[in-house]
Amino acid sequence: MKKSKVKVPFFEVFLWVIVALLLVAIPISNVYVKAVLSETNIALQSAKDNLKKQANTNEGLKMEINELASLDKIQSVANENGLTYNNDNVIVVEQDKEK
């Protein structure tokens, strides 16, 4: 008895190859996307931490500026350097508010 060969159409073979590639590609791409998302979240958290540190540093520097700019501090530095406050030398300049 002769074996008869069944000819499979090219389109059917092509579809099976596409299905097989998709079955391999979808899980791989899913893992890749999750890895990229995780890496992005780590970078975002790092940026947020840096932002908080910078905000705390800025707040501390503002407090230090206010402390150094206080009238008591200015007078103590002036007294240390032999300077005195003379109210007669103070001139008040007013701006013309109509302009």
pLDDT at 7: 86
Q: What's the Cα-to-Cα distance from 89 to each of 24, 48, 83, 86, rounded to whole Å?
A: 86, 51, 13, 6
Rounded average pLDDT over 5-15: 89
Rounded average pLDDT over 87-99: 74
Give SS3 for 88. Answer: helix
Q: Which 3-state string (H, E, C) describes 9-22? A: CHHHHHHHHHHHHH
pLDDT in tens, 34-84: 999 999 999 999 999 999 999 999 999 999 999 888 888 888 888 889 888
